[in-house]
Homo-oligomer: A and B are copies of this chain.
């Protein structure tokens, strides 16, 4: 088709000035409705689309939102992208993805990019969202940003989070509801704030229901399959073992399942296993894993929303924060506690 239709041609075709076409395109007020319609018809007829470069050069918006990540979980990353784009498309914005290499000097990777692209906003996923150098650069360049599930300095800037503590509480309560009283727990990487929150939720649920939190039932893990595997070996060796294990993420829970498998402990008849995150792996194992789903797409959409509606611009005294609901996904890896 048309290699390049400009606003000029639309103006000529509809018999108004370029500026009026611009007004219609930008949904500005004070355009007579029949003028508006005439222009819209011309736009449709010529199949005209405004040139984003010219637009951002002339105006103040770039129509670009950045997504910065350095995340080992592809599923998380794509969910963020899908959620963000869903909201962005409504307003004609596009997504620029920038994988960061946190091994290197992240700030120096970010500054040039911000200076060239002049994006309207940036969404930061963990762990980049806790990289102070990156935040500093963003603020220096005056680019609004929203952090997803930040760990540190939560009040520093706009963010979107999930209630990890309450989710862990409810998962624990779910197990207790199934009759378990002796529930093992595998902690996550101590550098991640979420790890602490999840542990907190577990402790709270156990305590409130009158079950002791035994030291030898809590193992340190690192969010990896291997660490879950090793923690499970410690928890499950010998005859005195818990009837359920709640791992603070799915990868570790899968490690637990592997050990159970090896030891011929039937899941969930002999041992219930619960995870956290609802990664793709959770559906691939057998039996499928009971876990907690973060509404990642919704969180990303909320982040995009904060950016697009201007709330994240950093002028408010209290940065906006949105807390989204999680979802307990009960599948086959948890069941009633064995009798006796």
Contact = CB atoms under 8 A, between A and B. Distances in A.
Interface of A: 1, 3, 5, 47-54, 56-57, 62-63, 74-79, 81-82, 85, 92, 94-99, 111-113, 115-118, 140-142, 225, 251, 254, 258, 261-262, 280-281, 283-286
A116 B53 CA distance: 8
A85 B97 CA distance: 9
A96 B98 contact: no
This chain: how many copies in the complex? 2
A77, A79, A92, A142: residue with the most chain B Cβ atoms closer than 10 Å = A77
9 contacts: A5-B115, A51-B116, A52-B116, A74-B76, A81-B97, A85-B97, A85-B98, A96-B96, A284-B284
B49 A112 contact: yes
Given A94-B96, A117-B94, A1 B283 contact: no
A236 to B, nearest CB: 14
Contact of A258 (B48, B95, B286): B286
A135 to B, nearest CB: 14
Contacts of A285: 258, 284-285
A49 B115 contact: yes
A116 B25 CA distance: 13
A202 to B, nearest CB: 23
Given A96-B95, A261-B286, A285-B285, A53 B49 contact: no
B284 A49 contact: no
Contacts of A254: 284
A156 to B, nearest CB: 19
A280 B281 contact: yes
Nearest to A229: B286
A95 B100 CA distance: 13
A77 to B, nearest CB: 5
Given A5-B115, A262-B286, 18 more contacts: A1-B111, A49-B112, A50-B116, A52-B116, A52-B118, A53-B54, A53-B57, A57-B57, A74-B76, A78-B78, A85-B98, A94-B96, A94-B113, A95-B96, A95-B98, A225-B284, A258-B285, A281-B281
